[in-house]
Amino acid sequence: MAAAAAGRAIIPQSTRRLRPRDGARSERKTVDYDFQQIDAIINARSLAVVGASNSPTKFGYMFTRSQVTMGFDGPLYLVNSNEDEIMGRPAYPDLLSLPSAPDLVYLTIPAHRSVEVLADCAKIGVKAVIMMASGFKEAGESGKRLEEEALAIAREGGFRMIGPNCFGIYNPRNRLTLLPGHDFSKSAGSVAFISQSGGYSAHVARQGKSLGIDFSAVISYGNAADLDESDFLEYFTDDPDTRMISAYIEGVRDGARFARVLQRAAAAKPVVLWKVGAGESSRRAVLSHTGSLAGSAELWDSLIKKSGAIEASGVDELLDIMLVLKHFGRSPGKRLLICGGGGGLGTYGADLAEKEGLLVPDLDVRALERLQEVLDHAGAVAGNPLDVGAPLIPMPFLEDTLFEAGANPTTDILLFDLAVNFGYDVAGDFGIERTVELLGETRRRSGTHVAAVLYSRSFDPDDMRFETMLRRMRKRLHAAGVPVFESMERAVRAISRVN
Amino acid sequence: MAAAAAGRAIIPQSTRRLRPRDGARSERKTVDYDFQQIDAIINARSLAVVGASNSPTKFGYMFTRSQVTMGFDGPLYLVNSNEDEIMGRPAYPDLLSLPSAPDLVYLTIPAHRSVEVLADCAKIGVKAVIMMASGFKEAGESGKRLEEEALAIAREGGFRMIGPNCFGIYNPRNRLTLLPGHDFSKSAGSVAFISQSGGYSAHVARQGKSLGIDFSAVISYGNAADLDESDFLEYFTDDPDTRMISAYIEGVRDGARFARVLQRAAAAKPVVLWKVGAGESSRRAVLSHTGSLAGSAELWDSLIKKSGAIEASGVDELLDIMLVLKHFGRSPGKRLLICGGGGGLGTYGADLAEKEGLLVPDLDVRALERLQEVLDHAGAVAGNPLDVGAPLIPMPFLEDTLFEAGANPTTDILLFDLAVNFGYDVAGDFGIERTVELLGETRRRSGTHVAAVLYSRSFDPDDMRFETMLRRMRKRLHAAGVPVFESMERAVRAISRVN
């Protein structure tokens, strides 16, 4: 990770430029991975959106609005032959009318129309095209032929393709935002997310923002007619801005290549993989979604294990794992000290931890003695789990307790449940605000990892007070280096996965 | 369930009155289960709180405030020798000074003091005492002796005990609210929750309210020195107001009796059991929390399976299962039709369903044909999973789609993911409000169960707009008989458990 962070100057030596074979038809494997080529697409300096629209129910509106709101860092041309003006900007009738050729063309028009426009893309000489439309390989024989045709035009024209049947790229570094929605983070970060699903690309980008996870880039790549999961995985392995790679994958094009690429990626940085399509009906879904073959679940399990990548079983777990990795890194240790104001939550936490292969070890003898002195009141249990007795114990006690607990040498991670309790109403020295502060202080003083659990509570639309406070606390904890989970189960599962 | 719902007149014939054996000491098994006795406690008509307090950090304040706010349906006496007035009500110096003997006495004072006051309870002749204090059996030898002493006084004095080391009873029927917090539902319902943990009793009561789950009663019973899990389980089996029983259990007093009682309960109504203490550290936690013996995990598994009860693995799952049972009842069927605007969510849903033993069967041929006609646009997939193509399809299409999908004969439950998408910003005919309405309509027209998934999104404290809307939608869906889950994973797990 240190090397990866050392600067953009590290460019892999083995990369080769695109060399289309004469007359090549849909033989994508003749094109090698080329770092600089993909880098030029993701960090495109000019963009045209074909199909940009003023009609709020069209994707052409949503994507354009995202892009306009986020403020792309370079010329942005909107193309639609039926409009003069879109969102206050001039509309061009076609690509041939643009003042200059854009690096990247985004097509948010139907499948057949998309393939027709590819000729113009070749004519003006663009670096790459993203085709959003569905109706290609995933839709059967005629769609498959259309996809092959598109690929042949791209090869002939010397440009690369992302998609079809995808959303596109979100890159806060140049503000490229080809996802629907206009509330994505403008802060560039170090997490890459590669997604075969468009919906989850937008969802993860949005949830990541809420959790303080900033992205180097998010790429929704759909059917992967040209650039595919292996290309992007290689790219982010070599991208010095990216320190963690995550992916949602339905199927891969070239299993042997993917295995090699995954191995190299996971050796360089943490890789989190969410692979779907384990069962019969989900394989069918994969085929009709992106035209991919899901592959055997057993093969995938062994592939992921062997590579050292982390497997996520769903979208929430994927996000939780990212959060742990961000704050604790890889393999932070399996020994939990489970704390909170109550006995049930500790019992449950210990149950979960053991089920997930984590440890809830006895406290060190001297730490135990000191905690017994501090927690000398009824209802408190000095031990692991550690029950502070009530959520409303006076802060000097809680302070001593947390500092002693943080210093306990048999603890890798102190996991504090702020959740299943009721001290939220009380301000000042007994309140949650000071408790939250103390968790950050404990982490700083002891160097021990600290994590927190904060349940959402009361789903009443008329009572947003608690939710607002909870979100404020979550933000403060994240700023203090304390990851916050929505339940004890989610905390324990995520911590287990990264170990 | 039909018999149970037939009215309060059903009183089990086999119940017997309390007959304390002369000189009995802590030999609780000499006291038989007595429906009317427990009923008189849970539906107490008068209450005294000893240790009521004006100091906001004391449990004596929290419990009193809950009780005062919720408005107990009968005389409520507050006892504290250091106060003249508590929350605007007169404070009595001791139990002997009360104008009349209350049915129920709640002790929120330390352990030794609690045992001293029991003599007064015997003297004035109460029906039952709840002892909140910890510091009894769970705290070691001397605590164990203190607990035995308390039990002996209760036997001698002819009253029953709940606790020690518990919260108490919440019963919206008489507004008895011996839980901390003042935001519990005032609507009486038909779900009982028996909890060895105080924290989870309050948490489940509160979350239940948010989910539209109303309780007949919630009982936190802690160490179970006298009345225990089996007594309450028998009581709710025979209570005609209760149609579903749920429980958090750390350990049971009499395994053989519990097995019999559980069998009888699960034959009469749905029973959801959350049993903790499967591992080494959680057994230790159980022992230090309520002084219980957790018992072998294998034994418990077989006991629960044999009884026909439903096992929950955690607090969120417990609540999700309650929600499914409320809307779908027991065994609603395993055949899911997974729908939404996007391919990834269906693929993921199918993956989860198969992992959890549910089915995602092919559509009926004729339903498929009709859906292919309706969903004749790119990106849509008529099948199972069913991808409507985009979240923003015109409502007439969505209406036809949902009605055809609801009528498909190979579907038991239509599961619609409203979540991983982005149509929330759009009002009117394309918006989520109309989609939510349509889900309820689909359920009414087809008679097919409909469930929805609604992810929380954006955790920013400055952006509560989405959360407010989401909560409004959740409430509307629940009112329309459509249970809402916070993730696809939680929906699928809960549906699997009740089948």
User: Which residues of A are less than 8 Å from B247 in CB distance?
Assistant: none
User: Which residues of A are less than 8 Å from B210 in CB distance?
Assistant: 457-460
Q: Please give the pLDDT value at position A12.
A: 41
- Which residue from B minimizes the CA distance to A251? B347
Going by pLDDT thresholds of 50, 70 and 90, the confidence category of residue B14 is: very low
A197–B344: do the CB atoms touch at under 8 Å?
yes
Which of A124-128, A253-257, A325-329 is predicted with the least confidence, judged by mean pLDDT?
A253-257
B353–A281: do the CB atoms touch at under 8 Å?
yes
Average pLDDT over residues A108-121: 96
Q: Please give the pLDDT value at position B54.
A: 93
Is A248's Cβ below 8 Å from some Cβ in B? yes
**Residue scoring higher pLDDT (A288 or A440):** A440
Do residues B101 and B126 lie in contact, with contact meaning Cβ atoms separated by under 8 Å? yes
**Chain segment A186-239, per-residue pLDDT in tens:** 999 999 999 999 999 999 999 999 899 999 999 999 999 999 999 999 999 999
User: Which residues of A are less than 8 Å from B383 in CB distance?
Assistant: 284, 288
Backbone conformation region of residue B440, classed left if phi is above 0, alpha if psi is from -120 to 50, else beta: alpha
Q: Please give the pLDDT value at position B261.
A: 97
**DSSP conformation class of B169:** E
**Residue scoring higher pLDDT (B447 or B396):** B447
CB atoms within 10 A of CB A16: 12
- Partnered with residue B340 across adjacent β-strands are B387, B417
User: Which residues of A are less than 8 Å from B273 in CB distance?
Assistant: none
DSSP state string for B323-362: HHHHHH-S---SBEEEEESSHHHHHHHHHHHHHTT-B-PP
Going by pLDDT thresholds of 50, 70 and 90, the confidence category of residue A121 is: very high
Among B176, B193, B147, smallest CA distance to B290 is for B147
**Chain segment B130-167, per-residue pLDDT in tens:** 999 999 999 899 999 999 999 999 999 999 999 999 99
Q: What percent of chain A has pLDDT over 90?
A: 73
Average pLDDT over residues B396-403: 90
Q: What percent of chain B has pLDDT over 90?
A: 73
Q: Residue A328, SS3? A: helix
**DSSP conformation class of A7:** -
Contacts of B380 (CB under 8 A, 6+ apart): B387, B388, B389, B393
Q: Please give the pLDDT value at position A182.
A: 75
Helix (H) and strand (E) counts for chain B? 16, 19
Please determine, for residue A23, whether its predicted confidence score (pLDDT) is greater than 50. Answer: no
B458–A183: do the CB atoms touch at under 8 Å?
yes
Please determine, for residue B27, whether its predicted confidence score (pLDDT) is greater than 70. Answer: no
Contacts of A30-34 with CB under 8 Å at 24 or more apart are: A31/A155, A31/A160, A31/A226, A33/A230, A33/A231, A33/A234, A33/A235
A460–B210: do the CB atoms touch at under 8 Å?
yes
Tell me which residue in A343, A384, A467 faces B290 most closely, judged by beta carbons: A343
**Chain segment A379-426, per-residue pLDDT in tens:** 788 999 999 887 667 778 889 999 999 999 999 999 999 875 545 555
Q: Please give the pLDDT value at position A154.
A: 97
Average pLDDT over residues B160-185: 94
pTM of the full structure: 0.92
Is B461's Cβ below 8 Å from some Cβ in A? yes
Q: Please give the pLDDT value at position A59.
A: 85
B464–A461: do the CB atoms touch at under 8 Å?
no
Do residues B133 and B222 lie in contact, with contact meaning Cβ atoms separated by under 8 Å? no
Please determine, for residue B426, whether its predicted confidence score (pLDDT) is greater than 90. Answer: no
Do residues B484 and B470 lie in contact, with contact meaning Cβ atoms separated by under 8 Å? no
**Chain segment B243-278, per-residue pLDDT in tens:** 999 999 999 999 999 999 999 999 999 999 999 998
Tell me which residue in B181, B344, B475 faces A199 most closely, judged by beta carbons: B344
Is A273's Cβ below 8 Å from some Cβ in B? no
**Chain segment B280-330, per-residue pLDDT in tens:** 888 888 888 888 888 888 889 999 999 999 999 999 999 999 999 999 999
The CA distance from B431 to A176, in Å, is: 27
Do residues B40 and B127 lie in contact, with contact meaning Cβ atoms separated by under 8 Å? yes
The CA distance from B178 to B131, in Å, is: 11
Q: What percent of chain A has pLDDT over 70?
A: 90
- Shortest Cα distance from B2 to chain A (angstroms)? 31
B351–A276: do the CB atoms touch at under 8 Å?
yes
Amino acid at B108: T
Average pLDDT over residues A30-58: 91
Residue in the structure block whose two tokens are 């403060």: A476
Phi first, then psi: give them for residue B328, nearest 5 degrees.
-110, -15
Phi first, then psi: give them for residue A174, nearest 5 degrees.
-115, 10
Average pLDDT over residues B39-48: 97
Q: Please give the pLDDT value at position A426.
A: 54
Q: What are the b/e assignments for B154-184, b being 16+ CB within 10 Å?
A: bbbbebbbbbbbbbbbbbbebbbbbbbbebb
Q: Please give the pLDDT value at position A391.
A: 62
Average pLDDT over residues A343-350: 93
User: Which residues of B are less than 8 Å from A430 in CB distance?
Assistant: 56-57
A471–B459: do the CB atoms touch at under 8 Å?
yes
CB atoms within 10 A of CB B376: 11
Average pLDDT over residues A80-109: 97
Chain B interface, mutation test: which of A347, A358, A430, A460, most B Cβ atoms within 10 Å? A347
- Shortest Cα distance from B118 to chain A (angstroms)? 19
B289–A389: do the CB atoms touch at under 8 Å?
no
| Burial of residue B2, with CB atoms counted within 10 A of its CB: 0-12 exposed, 13-18 middle, 19 or more buried | exposed
DSSP state string for A351-403: HHHHHTT-B-PPPPHHHHHHHHHHT-STT-B-SSSEE-SSTT--HHHHHHHHH
DSSP state string for A460-476: -TT--HHHHHHHHHHHH
The CA distance from B118 to B394, in Å, is: 69
Tell me which residue in B346, B392, B463 faces A57 most closely, judged by beta carbons: B392
**DSSP conformation class of B314:** S
A343–B384: do the CB atoms touch at under 8 Å?
no
What the block records as the tokens of B89 is: 């009500």
Q: Please give the pLDDT value at position B421.
A: 53
- B 312-331 residues inside an 8 A Cβ radius of A: 314-316
Do residues A178 and A167 lie in contact, with contact meaning Cβ atoms separated by under 8 Å? yes
Please determine, for residue B212, whether its predicted confidence score (pLDDT) is greater than 70. Answer: yes
- A 175-194 residues inside an 8 A Cβ radius of B: 180-181, 183
Please determine, for residue A451, whether its predicted confidence score (pLDDT) is greater than 50. Answer: yes
Going by pLDDT thresholds of 50, 70 and 90, the confidence category of residue A131 is: very high
Positive/negative CA dihedral, A43, A48, A51, A56: positive
A346–B181: do the CB atoms touch at under 8 Å?
no
- Shortest Cα distance from B421 to chain A (angstroms)? 6
Is B279's Cβ below 8 Å from some Cβ in A? yes
What the block records as the tokens of B363 is: 């559509």
What would you measure as the largest C-alpha separation in chain A, in angstroms? Answer: 82
Q: What is the ipTM of this complex?
A: 0.90
Is A130's Cβ below 8 Å from some Cβ in B? no
B181–A488: do the CB atoms touch at under 8 Å?
no
Q: Please give the pLDDT value at position B232.
A: 98
Average pLDDT over residues B374-398: 83
Amino acid at A71: G
- Shortest Cα distance from B15 to chain A (angstroms)? 32
Phi first, then psi: give them for residue B270, nearest 5 degrees.
-65, 135
**Chain segment B55-79, per-residue pLDDT in tens:** 887 889 989 999 999 999 999 999 9
Please determine, for residue B16, whether its predicted confidence score (pLDDT) is greater than 50. Answer: no
Which of A462-471, B40-49, B356-365 is predicted with the least confidence, judged by mean pLDDT?
A462-471
Please determine, for residue B38, whether its predicted confidence score (pLDDT) is greater than 80. Answer: yes
Please determine, for residue B481, whether its predicted confidence score (pLDDT) is greater than 90. Answer: yes
Please determine, for residue B20, whether its predicted confidence score (pLDDT) is greater than 70. Answer: no
Phi first, then psi: give them for residue B393, nearest 5 degrees.
-90, 150
| Burial of residue B299, with CB atoms counted within 10 A of its CB: 0-12 exposed, 13-18 middle, 19 or more buried | exposed
Amino acid at A258: F
Angle between helices A141-157 and A111-124 (to 10 degrees): 10
